[in-house]
């Protein structure tokens, strides 16, 4: 089982859209996938047309097993939903004996090919516990200075986790890419110069990505042929289709 965390300290960078899209994409590719919502907003369930719920709270506070709290979302895809009670679960983790190991222990007996953890944009015990449980971190980022600073915050957290003996692979996923905007292009070039192969092809800005959650559909269901999935230009660069190809390489490696 591979555990993948989606993280950025800055909000509004497309974290949940990315988490839902790759989770459904992996499920369609035949991987039994679990998507865990660690954000009190509960937008994972909402994005898939399902009710928010205290799934993560029940997993951590009530210590219910995964098979009781996970709900069916799509073929090969189950989710552990979140809601405002996730904040109470976080307080329980803080006072536990082994806070950084809490998520690892909760997922110990999970039977999935891939588990995806969708984190809130904050640096707290859930963030550290998720990193300690993970094998790989995917960092979505808008191409502006504040979001890129959020990338650096995640990398600093990963360095602290590495000091505890747990090293993580990572990739950076530029989102909301608009090649007609100078700042966007310059920030992408700067990211590539700094992080090189860790930067994956960008996700184009596409209004359909904002529309899909209102219909309770993933992007694969709502707009499978749009640029946000298939990329842009004659060469079809970027898009979540490209992200899926890269991610499947990671999982095979």
Assess contact for 149 and 8: CB atoms under 8 A. no
Q: Which domains does the chain have, with CATH numbers?
A: 2-252 (3.40.50.300)
Which pLDDT does position 161 carry in this prediction?
92
Average pLDDT over residues 32-60: 96
Backbone φ, ψ for residue 216 (5° rounding): 65, 30
Average pLDDT over residues 64-77: 96
pLDDT, tens digit, 9 for 90 and up, residues 180-192: 888 888 889 989 9
Share of the chain above pLDDT 70, in %: 98
pLDDT, tens digit, 9 for 90 and up, residues 3-22: 999 999 888 999 999 999 99
Which pLDDT does position 148 carry in this prediction?
82
Residue with more model confidence, 69 or 253: 69
Q: Check whether 213 has a pLDDT greater than 70.
A: yes
Which pLDDT does position 115 carry in this prediction?
98
Which pLDDT does position 145 carry in this prediction?
81
Which pLDDT does position 179 carry in this prediction?
80
Average pLDDT over residues 126-140: 95
Which pLDDT band, with edges at 50, 70 and 90, does 234 fall under? low
Q: In which region does residue 44 sit, left (phi positive, over 0), alpha (psi from -120 to 50) or beta (all else)? A: alpha
pLDDT, tens digit, 9 for 90 and up, residues 73-124: 999 999 999 999 999 999 888 888 788 899 999 999 899 999 999 999 887 8
Q: Check whether 253 has a pLDDT greater than 80.
A: no
Share of the chain above pLDDT 90, in %: 78
Which pLDDT does position 5 carry in this prediction?
97
The mean predicted confidence, pLDDT, of the chain is 93
Q: Say whether 68 sits in a helix, a strand or coil.
A: helix
Assess contact for 229 and 203: CB atoms under 8 A. no
Q: Which ranges in the chain belong to alpha helices (H)?
A: 15-28, 43-47, 55-60, 66-69, 86-94, 102-106, 125-133, 145-163, 182-195, 207-211, 219-222, 227-230, 240-252
Q: Kindly state the DSSP code that residue 63 receives in the 8-state scheme.
A: -
Which pLDDT does position 236 carry in this prediction?
67
Assess contact for 20 and 47: CB atoms under 8 A. yes
Which pLDDT does position 235 carry in this prediction?
62
CB within 8 Å of 233: residues ≥ 6 apart: none
């Amino acid at each position: 089982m591979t555990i993948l965390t989606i993280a950025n300290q800055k909000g509004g960078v497309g974290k949940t859209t990315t988490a839902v899209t790759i989770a459904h994409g992996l499920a369609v590719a035949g991987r039994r996938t679990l998507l865990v919502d660690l954000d009190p907003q509960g937008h994972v369930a909402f994005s898939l047309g399902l009710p928010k719920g205290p799934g993560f709270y029940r997993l951590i506070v009530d210590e219910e097993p995964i098979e009781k709290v996970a709900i069916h979302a799509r073929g090969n895809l189950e989710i552990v939903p979140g809601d405002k009670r996730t904040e109470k679960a976080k307080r329980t983790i803080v006072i536990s004996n082994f806070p950084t190991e809490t998520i690892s222990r909760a997922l110990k007996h999970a039977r999935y090919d891939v588990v995806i953890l969708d984190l809130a944009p904050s640096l707290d015990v859930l963030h550290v516990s998720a990193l300690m449980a993970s094998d790989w971190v995917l960092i979505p980022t808008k191409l502006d200075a504040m979001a890129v600073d959020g990338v650096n915050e995640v990398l600093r957290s990963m360095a602290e986790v590495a000091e505890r003996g747990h090293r993580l692979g990572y990739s950076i996923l530029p989102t909301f890419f608009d090649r007609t905007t100078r700042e966007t292009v310059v920030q992408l070039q700067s990211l590539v110069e700094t992080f090189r192969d860790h930067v994956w092809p960008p996700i184009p800005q596409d209004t359909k990505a904002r529309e899909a959650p209102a219909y309770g559909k993933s992007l694969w269901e709502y707009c499978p042929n749009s640029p946000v999935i298939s990329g842009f230009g004659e060469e079809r660069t970027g898009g979540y289709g490209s992200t899926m190809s890269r991610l499947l390489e990671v999982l095979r490696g």
